[in-house]
Chains A and B, each alone.
Chain A
Amino acid sequence: MTAAGTRTAQPSANGRAIAALQEALAAEQAASYGYGIVGAHLQQGSAMQGDATDDWVAHLRASDQLAKLISARGGTPAPSAIVYQLPFQVSTAAEAAALAATVEDRVAQAYLGVVALAETGLRTFAAEQVRASALRAEAWRGSTQAFPGLPPASLRR
């Protein structure tokens, strides 16, 4: 309820679930695009390029899973964009690895939106995806983070 008797329509639990899943899908689609850029800047046939391919495939599969979850709830999975704005310019292998880690951070953050839902099955699925993203980020970055996916502003001081 808001002031002067106005009432704001609250989305249903299903609507909130679809919205959170769409956010995760958008992050996965951006990640798939990002790994295309990553792979293009790694040495052809190198172990790192192989890792990038594996991670790209993981994101494609996760996108498929999310699309199914959205459809099962009566939603329409949003299509991916044709092109995405990169967070920074990539022209070296080191920058490509940094992009991969950044992409994974964003995916983890998007899945935490799904973890916030009350439905236990979705929550567990999303938490496992947060963990998978954090593991991939660690592999690309070579270091760990205390709170993968959580913005610093959300932490209590």
Chain B
Amino acid sequence: MGAAVSAVRFEHVAHLAQLKSRLVQPAGSAPSPKPSPIVHVTGSVAAELIALEQAEQAASDRLLGQLGGLPSSLAQLFASIAASEATHVPFLQAAGQGQ
């Protein structure tokens, strides 16, 4: 299962890199040094997996809800990332079942 989680994490890193490349930083501002954690889980591996799956689905839904008004290329990127995040759900489920 570690390999599956690593693969998913790798894709999130790629998502972040693409989103950051399109980010226009206002003058004088600095990016937040630490990302805000979204998932707080201190339970079993199964519970952690379920929390991850829920976070992936929520992130996918959130991106799809933000498409209106975006420039075309950014909307395409959001849609693609939303699709990728949605695929993490069955992928992690399968990895969990293979434990």
Contact = CB atoms under 8 A, between A and B. Distances in A.
Interface residues of B, number: 32
A112 B14 CA distance: 19
B59 interface: no
A150 B76 contact: yes
Interface in A110-148: 111-112, 115-118, 120, 123-124, 126-128, 130-131, 133-135, 137-139, 142-148
B76 A131 contact: no
Interface in A67-117: 108, 111-112, 115-117
Given A131-B86, A135-B90, A149 B80 contact: yes
B18 A130 contact: no
B91 A138 contact: yes
Contacts of B44: none
B36 interface: no
A64 to B, nearest CB: 22
B40 interface: no
Given A124-B64, A127-B67, A146 B76 contact: no
A144 B87 contact: yes
B67 A144 contact: no
Interface string B47-72: 00000000000001000100111001
A126 B8 CA distance: 24
A7 interface: no
B4 to A, nearest CB: 9
Interface of A: 108, 111-112, 115-118, 120, 123-124, 126-128, 130-131, 133-135, 137-139, 142-150, 154-156
